[in-house]
Every structure is written in structure tokens, then in C-alpha cells.
Amino acid sequence: MQPDPPQNIEAERSVLGAILLNGDAAEVAVETLGPRSDVFYSNPHGTIYKTMVGMHAADVPIDVLTLITRLGKKGKLEDVGGASYVADLTSAVPTSANIEHYARIVLECHRLRGIIESATKAASLAFHSDTDSAEIMEELEASLTALQHNDLQGEQFTLDAIVPEVIENRCRIVEGKVEPGLLMGVRSVDEVTQGINKGDLVVCAARPGVGKTAMLMNAVHHIGVERKLPVLIFSLEMPRNQLVERILSIHNKICIADIKHNGFLAQQRLGTLASTAGDFTDTKVSIVDASTMDITEMRKHARRWARENEQLGFIGIDYLQLMRGQSNRKRVEEIEETSRGLKALAKELHVPILALAQLNRMADQEKNPYNLLSHMKGGGSIEEDADKVIVLYPTKAPKGDGGEIDPNNVLGWCVAKHRGGPVGMGKLYFEKSTQQVMELSEVEQEPELPYSEDEVLF
């Protein structure tokens, strides 16, 4: 009589119960186990887990009631033990805090079963003399390598399972319960892009000094400071203090030169600046300060950030071409590896990544903004892997503005690529002194400084 395969039913129940207690725990479970249901030994548990993964991917809240409803619609409720069994899963654990520990137990049992299955299949093949030994060893090695790296991606989903999830998510967007995408805070750009979406790699490209870091910092201020959503910034070009100075300048509408360079604010205005420190108390904006980094190191930081936070905002990178490859290859190949890795990371964490990128010198000669897409520094892989590409460029003030707008502060923008959506272009106002990016209609005829000139001491 053969012993039962390795299994831990209580650990499986604990994983499912933890997700029911905290729907965001599904992210940890998927990161550890992958999306496939066969990692669970119990078929009913696998069915429940697969349903949870589908709900999480569609941004549908996961709790006892919504899960029972979803299983009922699919005709799977009785197959998993009925509503009472689903409800009882919450009693398996007191809290969702230890879900990663339970998930690793489930994964370990799955791997052990996989080893047994692979070894048994290899032994069966070895007993047949017409089977080449090299072929058997190659197949055994491939199956064990897949288990070692937890290669659980690529599960098949049928249309009858996906369509209801997509329609339900669209309905929630129409009803205003879910945003179509995370808005960056610049109205005209947001109208074209519909925000930065979960799983998307969005690239904001420009020549040096045009304003791409300012665009990123305005998004950080809007999403991370005003909306208090978790934001993770990888600063590869500037020290963290310089990024914070830009955020302070945007937040207080104070000239950045007076914060960081030759003078200091008069006592009254310095007190005003200090008094706004409380506005940042509940923010969850994290900055990783490094001169360079490869995709593996970035992935570790991002996964930890995702585990530690709920209702994620976005990941920002300043800037993409400063990342290094994982091996000594041609620079173009390293950038290809990096851009593919960033897109995969966005999908894995179900979070938008806003990566800055530089355009090459030929962009200065380009007359058509849409063609700037082909002037990405480091090759075409960035534009190929990106879901959306926003290019920024210097441009002229619109005709008929009456001279109220400083032509040196007019910033052209073009959504040159939008996978599954419209492209478009327009003009913004980049107030370089305060680092604010705004609509031209928001510019006052004579902007009032937050302090008089005689209050600034040099």
C-alpha cells in the first residue's frame, strides 16, 4: 500500500481563509504560489483558489459573500462543499498576517508531489529499453527545474470564465466604484491616457532638461501626497533629497532655487514651509536611492513594497536607461532585458510602472511629435514593451494668448503610443521655478508669488 502524497490540508485552508479575511492577501498568495489551482492537493480548494485569483485580477472585492456568489454563478458552489464550508474557512486562521508562511507550506508539498511524479515517470520510461537515456534525463531535468523556479505561469482560462469578470469590472468603472486608471493629475493627458492602469508599463520620454522628472514628481505629489496612495520611486539620477525638494516646491508653490541654492526663505515663509511637514505624515511614498540597479534588485524592492502596502499606487523610475543589465552584453541588449523585465514586473504585481526615459539627440531635429517615439535612446525595445508612451518636448506658446504666458515655460506633450486606446497631443505649462506642471488655462495672468522679493535673503 503506497503512502498518501505529501499534503497539508490545514495549510491550504489557512491560505484560503487568510484571503477571505483580507482580500489584498491574494497578492501575496499569487506571488508565492502563482495563479494555478493544481498547487493545491484538494480539488475543492484549488477551485476556490482559482476563483479568488480571477476575482482579484478583475478588482472584485473578495469576502465570504462575494466568493459564494461567484462560485454559485459558476455552478461550482456545491462542488467545493457548499456555502457553509466556504464560510467556515475564515475560522482556519485568526489573521491574514501569516499567509506567506502557509503558502510556502502548500508550495513545498506541491513541489514534493511534483518530484515524486517526475521521478515515477522517469522510472517508468527507464524500464522501456527503446527509450533513449539522454531523452529521459533531459525531460527529468526540465521538470525538476520548473519546480525549483516555481514555474506556475500560463494557466488557461476559458471565455465563459473571463467574460463575466471583464463585464463586472466595466460596470464597476461606469458606476464610479473603480477608476479606469490611476490619474496622474494633469487633466488633458489623463483624458487621453485614461490614467495609468494596473499591469501597464508607461514611459514618459524627453530630452534632458525638458521636464520629465517634474512630470513624475507632479504625479507623485498628486497620487502619493494628495491621495495618500503608496508610491515607490527608484531614483537613479538624483539623490533622494533633491527629489524631496522638488515635492516640497510643488506642494508649497515655493521657488525651488530658494529651497536648495544660494539663499534661504525669510523667517515667516520658512515657518510656513516647516508647518506643512504634517501634510506628509500619513503618506506612503518610498524612495530607493541608488546610482544604478538591475531588474532583479528592483524586483526585490518592489515585491517587498507590494507586500507591505495595500491599495497600491504606482512605481516610478528615474530613469530607465540608467538601469544596468544582469550580464555583460551590448547596451542595446541590456535595455531590452530591462524593458521586458519592467513590463513583466508590472503584470506580476498588478501595478502601473511609470518609467522615465531619454530621447537621443536626433529628437531635437524632429518636427512631428509622433515620430519622437522612434528616437528612444538605447533602441526600440522600450517603445515595443511599453503600453503607453508620453513624449515631452519644447514648443511655442499658443496663438492668441496675449503674451500672458511665458513662452519658455510651454511644454508640448504627445501620447505617441496607447495600446488599446487613442493617441493625442497638446500643450502644458511647466512653471520651472516651482516645478508645477499644469494646464495652460490654469496659468494666472500675473502669478502671485507666495512671498515678496524682499522676503528672500541672499
Residue-level pLDDT at 138: 66
Task: Tell which residue, 301, 333, 331, has the closest CA to residue 316.
Answer: 301
> What is the percent of the chain with per-residue pLDDT over 70, rounded to a whole number?
86
Q: How far is CA 46 from the centre of its chain?
A: 27
Given a cut of 50, is residue 30 above it in pLDDT? yes
Q: Is the domain of 223 the same as that of 138?
A: no
Residue 363 domain flag: yes
> Are the CB atoms for 287 and 235 separated by under 8 Å?
yes
Given a cut of 80, is residue 272 above it in pLDDT? no
Q: What is the CATH number of the domain that holds 312?
A: 3.40.50.300
Given a cut of 90, is residue 84 above it in pLDDT? yes
Top-ranked range on mean pLDDT: pick from 214-218, 265-269, 324-328, 366-370: 214-218
**Rounded to the nearest 5°, which phi and psi values hold at 327?**
-145, 160
> What is the percent of the chain with per-residue pLDDT over 90, rounded to a whole number?
21
Residue at which a domain ends, from 128, 163, 198: 163
Residue-level pLDDT at 64: 92
Residue-level pLDDT at 448: 43
Residue 169 domain flag: no
Query: In whole numbers, what is the pLDDT of the chain averaged over residues?
Result: 81
Residue-level pLDDT at 458: 28
User: Grid coordinates representing 288?
Assistant: 530607493
Q: How confident is the model at residue 455 (pLDDT cuts 50, 70, 90)?
A: very low
Q: Is the domain of 202 the same as that of 151?
A: no
Residue 4 domain flag: no
Give the chain's domain count: 2
Classify burial at 153, counting beta carbons within 10 Å of its beta carbon; exposed 0-12, middle 13-18, buried 19 or more: exposed
Residue 253 domain flag: yes
Residue 180 domain flag: no
Q: CA 345, CA 343: separation in Å to the nearest integer?
A: 5
Q: How many residues are present in the chain?
A: 458
Q: What is the pLDDT of residues 157-180, one digit of tens each?
A: 677 767 777 787 778 777 777 677
Q: CA 127, CA 124: separation in Å to the nearest integer?
A: 5
The residue with greater pLDDT, 406 or 352, is 352
Given a cut of 90, is residue 109 above it in pLDDT? yes
Element housing 26 (H / E): helix 25-33
Residue at which a domain ends, from 129, 163, 197: 163
Q: CA 254, CA 245: separation in Å to the nearest integer?
A: 10
Q: What is the pLDDT of residues 332-369, one digit of tens each?
A: 777 888 888 889 888 888 899 999 988 888 887 778 88
Q: CA 368, CA 345: separation in Å to the nearest integer?
A: 32
Residue 440 domain flag: yes
Q: What is the pLDDT of residues 300-332, one digit of tens each?
A: 788 888 878 877 889 999 888 888 775 566 777
Q: Is the domain of 60 the same as that of 204?
A: no
Residue-level pLDDT at 106: 93
| Domain hosting residue 416, numbered range | 187-457
Q: Is the domain of 149 the same as that of 193?
A: no
Given a cut of 80, is residue 144 above it in pLDDT? no
The CA dihedral of 408, 409, 412, 418, to the nearest 10 degrees, is: 150
Residue-level pLDDT at 46: 93
Global pTM? 0.62
**Rounded to the nearest 5°, which phi and psi values hold at 210?**
-80, -35
For helices 9-21 and 43-57, give the axis angle rounded to 10 degrees.
30
Q: Is the domain of 155 the same as that of 196?
A: no
Residue 170 domain flag: no
- Match 534661504 to its residue by C-alpha cell: 264
Q: Is the domain of 159 the same as that of 32?
A: yes
Query: What SS3 state is found at 67?
Result: helix
Residue-level pLDDT at 232: 93
Q: CA 99, CA 143: separation in Å to the nearest integer?
A: 27
Given a cut of 70, is residue 29 above it in pLDDT? yes
Q: Is the domain of 132 the same as that of 255?
A: no
Q: Is the domain of 143 the same as that of 205?
A: no
Q: What is the pLDDT of residues 34-72, one digit of tens each?
A: 878 889 999 999 999 999 988 887 778 899 999 999 999
Residue 95 domain flag: yes
Q: Is the domain of 261 the same as that of 224?
A: yes
Residue-level pLDDT at 155: 56
Q: Is the domain of 151 the same as that of 247?
A: no
Q: Is the domain of 275 the same as that of 240?
A: yes
Q: What is the CATH number of the domain that holds 27?
A: 1.10.860.10
Task: Tell which residue, 108, 83, 80, 103, has the closest CA to residue 14.
Answer: 103
Q: How confident is the model at residue 446 (pLDDT cuts 50, 70, 90)?
A: very low
